[in-house]
């Protein structure tokens, strides 16, 4: 048993690297996911993941598989879409979800166009699906760097962010920082998606953000509890997913995300807070 | 697909007319170059060598492109529709070719360049137990990795071009003879170079298992981290198995190919202290300023890298 759980990590450094990368990603993406979920922006994560594609593609076309160029390109593209859709929301009649959808579709189409213009598209497919088994030192530094920045920033804007989640109207009346908090938060989302796409690819990176958060929803109701459980779920899914990939010969990225998905389905049915089981349990009425 | 069914009849008529004109007025057409299409860059290079100035060539999958996952564009369909002759590798390499021929309503001569080559089965150890739905079946299509097979390709190209353009037949044959001599020289050089390496040391890792014919021609053993197709994503089990294999067999060189994820190979090389030997070209030529701009360059580039890394 011990041999099966620890053995792969002792024998192979690529397994250790993969786990360290996932650990960094879990620590930062899962809490960001909790706030996305609480602000009813779960699908925004998905839209942003598509939005960073053309930036990463341009970075790749200019500098090849360069970590720096692709990271920079992804961040620039993601922030541009976030800023533009924010601007349109404030200046026109269009709501945020609609303008974000419009811009991410433009961005996605531009990404596909850039990919196709270049004859060789296979390298880029590898890029889009990422590979957690091939994390090198710079990639690990990037992942842990982004995790540190994310956690520090979350600590600084925590109160404002919580207010923005539960009572945005109040925050707007007492302070003018609301738009800034919103944009800082979107920046964190973009940063974590870019980190995630080095490990899991642009498409699956969102999984590490949203699935642990929605799983945690069935186990805790306070924000601190939600974040702690989300991180725990993300770390366990990474560990189990990697072991599954090792023992059953499955591709690692999908194995990790599907493990997180398994936790979600399990929690959905038996979690103590608001799950199927919890809803059916007879609740005690208040007695006079 | 690209031409609506209503236009199809008109197009067919037009091509039939063109073919009739062609057969009636061979003398007048001899000045016109033969319009040829080659399915991928390596084959295109061979057609160029044989056809010379008598042929205008367009190549569907260009340098550094991957013919395994290629999607034809309407422009490709147009050049196919207008072509007098089309060259494909065959052996299931171009899974998309049938649809393209039908969609473009191609009425010219279709030449399968690999015809007459003795096909090799896919090596068993390359099987990475996934259910990868590629179009290859069990036959390895990468026959051009053995220059002896390429001589057969060239003969087929000569036959095809001579059928479409009988006036140029002698020129095609002369070009083919000249090129054949270069292929022979390359083959001799490769045999001599590998003879200098002890057989136990002729073991190499590449990211794409496309060197079956090369392996059988020169007695080199190629192992691959991902299975046969470039579409498969490696699992941790595959990578772990490969690392164990490198350690157990004491393999000294890992080669990054031009169409697979180099980061994964670097990781393996870090883990095993094997040398990353550079880029082997397998399915596509490099750009014109790259190290493998023609088939001859491609082969000698690969040969130099392999013997350089394996030399004791």
Q: Report ipTM (2 d.p.).
A: 0.74
What band does B135 get if pLDDT is binned at 50, 70 and 90? very low
- Which residues of chain B neighbour A123 with C-beta distances below 8 Å? 259-261
Residues B94-117 have a mean pLDDT of 88
Which residue of B lies nearest to A14 if distances are taken between CA atoms?
B267
The mean pLDDT value of chain B amounts to 79
pLDDT of residue B144: 93
- Interval A23-30 mean pLDDT: 94
CA dist., res. A181 & res. A179, Å (int):
5
Which residues, 6+ apart, have CB-to-CB distance to B236 below 8 Å?
A8, A14, A15, A18, A133, A242, A245, A246, A252
Query: Rounded to a whole number, what is the distance in Å from the CA of B170 to chain A's nearest CA?
Result: 36
Q: Do A247 and B268 touch (CB under 8 A)?
A: no
Beta partners for B139?
A: B121
Q: Which two tokens stand for residue B281?
A: 């070209």
Q: Rounded to whole angstroms, how far apart are CA atoms B282 and B295?
A: 10
At residue B214, the pLDDT reads 92
The mean pLDDT value for B280-307 works out to: 88
* Residues of chain B found within 8 Å of residue A239, distances taken between Cβ atoms: none
Distance from CA of A72 to the nearest CA of B (A): 19
Of B62, B69, B263, the CB nearest to A136: B263
Beta bridge partners of B257: B280
- pTM score of the predicted model: 0.65
Q: List pLDDT tens digits, range B6-36.
A: 444 555 556 555 555 555 444 444 568 899 9
Q: Nearest by CB to A133, which of B64, B262, B267?
A: B267
Indicate the pLDDT class of residue B43, thresholds 50, 70 and 90: very high
Q: Considering only A140-154, A179-193, B31-45, B206-220, which range has the smallest mean pLDDT?
A: B206-220
C-alpha–C-alpha distance, residues B59 and B45, integer Å: 9
CB contact under 8 A, B235 and A245: yes
What is the C-alpha separation between B145 and B141, in angstroms, rounded? 10
Mean pLDDT across chain A: 86
The answer to whether the beta carbons of residues B68 and B231 sit under 8 Å apart is yes
Q: Among partner residues B129, B240, B263, which is closest to A134 by beta-carbon distance? A: B263
Which of A232-246, B189-203, B210-224 has the highest mean predicted lDDT (pLDDT)?
A232-246
pLDDT for the residue numbered A264? 95
The answer to whether B57 and B37 are in contact (CB under 8 A) is: yes
Report the b/e string of A267-286 with b at 16+ CB within 10 A.
bbeebeeebeeeeeeeeeee
Instruction: State the pLDDT at residue A118.
Output: 65
Contacts A–B by Cβ distance under 8 A: 94
Look-up: residue for tokens 């024998």? A11
Mutate to test the interface with B, among A133, A142, A204 (most CBs of B within 10 A): A133
- Has residue A125 got a pLDDT over 50? yes
Tell if the CB–CB gap between A248 and B237 is shorter than 8 Å: yes
Residue B278's H or E segment, with its range, is: strand B275-280
Distance between B286 CA and the closest CA of chain A, angstroms: 11
Rg (CA), chain B: 21
Q: What share of chain A is helix, strand, coil (3-state, %, to 5)?
A: 85, 0, 15
């Amino acid at each position: 048993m011990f041999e099966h759980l620890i053995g792969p990590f002792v024998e192979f450094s690529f397994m250790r690297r993969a786990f360290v990368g996932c650990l960094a990603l879990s620590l930062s993406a899962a809490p960001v996911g909790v706030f996305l979920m609480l602000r009813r922006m779960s699908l925004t994560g998905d839209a942003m993941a598509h939005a960073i594609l053309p930036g990463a593609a341009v970075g790749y076309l200019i500098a090849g598989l360069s970590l720096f160029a692709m990271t920079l390109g992804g961040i620039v593209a993601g922030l541009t879409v976030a800023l533009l859709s924010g601007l349109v929301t404030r200046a026109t009649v269009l709501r945020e979800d609609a303008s974000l959808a419009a811009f991410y579709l433009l961005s996605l189409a531009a990404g596909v166009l850039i990919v196709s213009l270049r004859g060789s598209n296979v390298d880029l497919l590898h890029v889009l699906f990422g590979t957690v088994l091939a994390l090198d030192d710079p990639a690990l530094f990037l992942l842990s760097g982004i995790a540190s920045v994310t956690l520090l920033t979350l600590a600084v804007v925590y109160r404002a962010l919580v207010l923005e989640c539960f009572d945005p109207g109040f925050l707007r009346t007492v302070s003018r920082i609301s738009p800034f908090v919103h944009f800082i938060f979107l920046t964190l989302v973009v940063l974590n998606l870019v980190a995630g796409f080095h490990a899991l690819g642009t498409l699956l990176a969102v999984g590490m953000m949203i699935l642990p958060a929605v799983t945690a929803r069935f186990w805790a109701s306070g924000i601190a509890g939600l974040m702690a459980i989300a991180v725990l779920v993300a770390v366990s899914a990474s560990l189990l997913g990697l072991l599954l990939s090792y023992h059953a010969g499955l591709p690692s990225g999908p194995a990790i995300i599907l493990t997180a998905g398994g936790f979600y389905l399990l929690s959905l049915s038996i979690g103590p807070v608001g799950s199927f089981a919890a809803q059916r349990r007879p609740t005690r009425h208040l007695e006079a | 697909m690209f031409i609506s069914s209503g236009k199809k009849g008109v197009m067919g008529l037009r091509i039939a007319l063109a073919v009739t004109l062609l057969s009636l007025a061979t003398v007048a057409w001899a000045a016109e170059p033969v319009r040829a299409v080659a399915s991928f860059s390596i084959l295109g290079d061979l057609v160029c060598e044989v056809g010379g100035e008598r042929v205008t060539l367009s190549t569907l999958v260009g340098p550094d492109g991957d013919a395994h996952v290629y999607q034809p564009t309407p422009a490709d369909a147009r050049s196919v529709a207008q072509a007098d002759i089309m060259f494909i590798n065959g052996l299931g390499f171009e899974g998309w070719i049938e649809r393209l021929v039908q969609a473009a309503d191609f009425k010219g001569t279709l030449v399968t360049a690999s015809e007459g080559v003795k096909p090799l089965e896919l090596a068993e150890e390359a099987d990475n137990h996934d259910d990868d739905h590629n179009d290859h079946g069990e036959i390895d299509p990468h026959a051009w990795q053995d220059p002896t097979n390429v001589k057969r390709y060239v003969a087929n190209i000569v036959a095809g071009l001579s059928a479409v353009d009988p006036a140029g037949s002698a020129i095609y044959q002369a070009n083919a003879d000249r090129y054949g001599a270069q292929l022979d020289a390359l083959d001799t050089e490769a045999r001599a170079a590998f003879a200098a390496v002890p057989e136990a040391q002729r073991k190499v890792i590449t990211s794409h298992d496309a060197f079956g014919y090369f392996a059988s021609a020169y007695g080199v053993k190629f192992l691959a981290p991902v299975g046969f197709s470039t579409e498969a994503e490696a699992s941790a089990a595959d990578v772990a198995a490969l690392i164990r294999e490198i350690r157990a067999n004491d393999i000294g060189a890992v080669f990054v190919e031009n169409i697979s994820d180099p980061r994964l190979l670097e990781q393996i090389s870090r883990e095993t202290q094997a040398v990353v030997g550079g880029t082997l070209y397998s399915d596509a030529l490099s750009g014109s300023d790259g190290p493998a701009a023609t088939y001859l360059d491609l082969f000698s580039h690969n040969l130099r890298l392999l013997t350089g890394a394996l030399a004791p």
